[in-house]
A and B are shown apart, each in its own frame.
Chain A
Amino acid sequence: MTKGSAKRPAHATWRRLKKNKIAIAGLFIVALYVACAIFAPHISPHDPTKQSLTNSFLAPSSGHLLGCDEFGRDILSRIIWGARISLLIQVSSVIVALLVGISLGALGGYYGGKLDELIMRFMDILLAFPGMLLALAIVAMLGPSVRNLIVAIGIYSVPQFARITRGAVLAVSANEYVLGAKAIGESDSSVIVRYVLPNALSPIIVQTTLRMATVLLTASGLGFLGLGVQPPNPEWGTMLSSARMYLRSAPHVAIFPGLAIMITVLGFNFLGDGLQDALNPRLKE
């Protein structure tokens, strides 16, 4: 590593990321998704909740590019507005998971001993509920609403962040600069925040990106089960849930929301894989 790139690791990472075509494709998809979410009111061609019985099950046409659903609502507009709901759920629940997970993982990894043992055993308990089951159980308990969905998916993502942070903190803590900071009398909290965490950041960044993909799949899955965002809100999974009934007569109602989920998830996965390679250049063959 040259002196310049060591000073600006973000630049070096970006240079490596730029060379990876798949990662850039991922970045493009994610940017498009975020743009849909932010500018939904300006770019959506129709009102996403306006019903029109004459348009029900309308096939894709020039007036309605992706057709209309059972209530004659424009599917393209619903998908664009759906990006807003999904992004809100993804970002908020990942922030919840990051705050709780990083704190727990950093505490455990830094102090070790009984505290570490306690925290990790608790994470084991949460991880004993496989897949989306934990999120399902929490939503079942609190009742389905956007806020509860964020809480549920946030909690369900905590163990991943706690484990990754703990591992990274353990690896970093033994370094001389950390021992040095301790020796000159920096407080524990300042050592953790100023010296340990910044150097443990790469695996957390990668995990955050990949987790956005998982969270979107889980949120839309809960929506599909009727336990996520409730209709008439245009969440992609919720849209698919009602489309199930009309597979024979109006397949387009089911095809497009699912494509939206798949492309967005793929975008986050492309970007996450690319970041992984760009942040750990030595790991790549």
Chain B
Amino acid sequence: MVKFIVRRLMLLIPVLIGVSVIAFLMLHLAPGDPAELLAGLEASAEDVAALRTRFGLDKPLFVQYFMFLKGLFDGSLVSLKYEMPAASVIFPRILNTLKLACASIVVAVAVGMIAGIVSAVRRHSLVDYVSTTLALLGVSMPVFWWGLILIMIFSVYLRWLPSGGMGGLRYLVLPAIVLGTASAGVIARMTRSNMMEVLKQDYITAAKAKGLPERLVIYRHALRNALIPTVTVVGLEFGYMLAGAVLTETVFSWPGVGRLIVDSILARDYPMVQASLVLVAGVFVLVNLGVDVLYVFLDPRIRYD
């Protein structure tokens, strides 16, 4: 097991190097002179020259790359807009996104799993039909529009919940539902098909044949095995939420890392964009690794070599 984790961590190294190279090259692949891009449109020639030396843009490309990597860790990669080390701006934002993602995954798992199990057990019933349709609807809905609709209903007309910002639990309800909806759909579909697959197995027939009550067969024998692949999906969805909450964060003015990336892009704060891309991708691949490890841990049939 330890060997498996170490091997997977080693495999992450080239991926993370690749991610940092892509983030680094962003500024250089963009059309135009990087120093002028950083300085903005109204900058004078002196400003451009000053930025060129400050960011070492006059040095060879690979030297610049190592400066960029070093800057990520020692804080010398500074945001143009906030004039603070990029990493220290990003860190609290990642925590905010984490808070939102945790609440959303709870919503997604609760709704998705129940819907999926009921669908599989009452296959081809009205309940199954309604729940699979709703699941596909959840996957097909543009998150930003779903957010606006919920704001119209619960904030504008009913005035029950705030339409945006961060504060107590009340502020978390709508964003968590919105971010959790698509994942609930994915989890429901996955749980349903896994559960149906498991219900066809011989050991389920055997359990029924020996006279166990249906409930027991479903909850003791089927569910446990059906949930193993679902755990992977839940983990993956959580990873996407951590990093892909941009739209939800925008609709609800939630100060998370996705919103930070978009604001930095709009403000042409390139160092900030580069640093957030590397950190978010880093968190994402680590979450994925965690999911893989958990999967092997839960299903002893899987060999990890």
B19 interfacial by beta-carbon distance below 8 Å: yes
Number of interface residues of B (CB under 8 A): 48
* Minimal Cβ-Cβ distance residue in A for B268: A140
B277 to chain A: which residues have CB within 8 Å?
129, 133, 137
Binary contact track B11-36/A, C-beta < 8 Å → 1, others 0? 00011101100110011011100000
Known A142-B31, A258-B142, A258-B148: A133·B19 in contact at CB below 8 Å: no
B31 to chain A: which residues have CB within 8 Å?
142-143
B254 to chain A: which residues have CB within 8 Å?
none
Query: Contact: A237 with B144, CB < 8 Å?
Result: yes
Binary contact track A230-266/B, C-beta < 8 Å → 1, others 0? 0000000100100110011001001101110110011
Known A121-B18, A266-B137: A285·B265 in contact at CB below 8 Å: no
Question: B269 to nearest A CB, angstroms?
Answer: 10
In Å, the complex CA distance between A224 and B249 comes to: 12
In Å, the complex CA distance between A137 and B30 comes to: 11
Q: Give the most central of B15, B137, B142, B284: most A CB within 10 Å.
A: B142
Query: Contact: A136 with B285, CB < 8 Å?
Result: no
A14 interfacial by beta-carbon distance below 8 Å: no
B141 to chain A: which residues have CB within 8 Å?
262, 265
B137 to chain A: which residues have CB within 8 Å?
262, 266
B26 to chain A: which residues have CB within 8 Å?
137, 140-141
Query: Contact: B250 with A133, CB < 8 Å?
Result: no
**Partner-contacting stretch, out of B168-176, B238-246, B296-304:** B238-246
Partner of B244 from the list A131, A142, A261 (CB cut-off 8 Å) is: A131
Interface residues of A in 258-285 (CB under 8 A from B): 258-259, 261-262, 265-266, 269-270, 273, 285
A177 interfacial by beta-carbon distance below 8 Å: no
Number of interface residues of A (CB under 8 A): 45
Question: A216 to nearest B CB, angstroms?
Answer: 9
B114 interfacial by beta-carbon distance below 8 Å: no
Query: Contact: A141 with B30, CB < 8 Å?
Result: yes
Question: B78 to nearest A CB, angstroms?
Answer: 19
Query: Contact: B261 with A133, CB < 8 Å?
Result: yes
* Minimal Cβ-Cβ distance residue in B for A220: B142
Known A129-B277, A130-B280: A136·B142 in contact at CB below 8 Å: no
B220 interfacial by beta-carbon distance below 8 Å: no
Query: Contact: B140 with A213, CB < 8 Å?
Result: yes
**Partner-contacting stretch, out of B60-68, B80-88, B149-157, B208-216:** B149-157
B interface, over-half SS: helix
Question: A42 to nearest B CB, angstroms?
Answer: 28
In Å, the complex CA distance between A266 and B185 comes to: 13
In Å, the complex CA distance between A121 and B140 comes to: 30
In Å, the complex CA distance between A262 and B265 comes to: 27
A124 interfacial by beta-carbon distance below 8 Å: yes
A225 interfacial by beta-carbon distance below 8 Å: yes
In Å, the complex CA distance between A96 and B143 comes to: 26
A184 interfacial by beta-carbon distance below 8 Å: no
A240 to chain B: which residues have CB within 8 Å?
142, 144-145, 148
Interface residues of B in 267-284 (CB under 8 A from A): 273, 277, 280-281, 284
B239 to chain A: which residues have CB within 8 Å?
130
Query: Contact: A128 with B15, CB < 8 Å?
Result: yes
In Å, the complex CA distance between A128 and B16 comes to: 8
Q: A130-B281, A258-B149 are in contact. List 15 more A-B contacts (CB 8 A).
A: A125-B18, A125-B22, A129-B277, A130-B242, A130-B244, A130-B284, A133-B281, A137-B277, A220-B142, A240-B142, A247-B151, A248-B156, A258-B148, A261-B145, A269-B136
Q: Which A residues are within 8 Å of any B CB, using their own CB?
A: 121-122, 124-125, 128-133, 136-137, 139-143, 213, 217, 220-221, 224-227, 237, 240, 243-244, 247-248, 251, 254-255, 257-259, 261-262, 265-266, 269-270, 273, 285
- Listed by A's residue number, 22 A-B pairs whose Cβ atoms lie within 8 Å are A125-B15, A125-B19, A128-B19, A129-B243, A129-B284, A130-B243, A130-B280, A133-B261, A136-B262, A137-B273, A140-B273, A143-B30, A213-B140, A221-B144, A221-B246, A224-B247, A247-B151, A248-B156, A255-B149, A258-B145, A262-B141, A262-B142
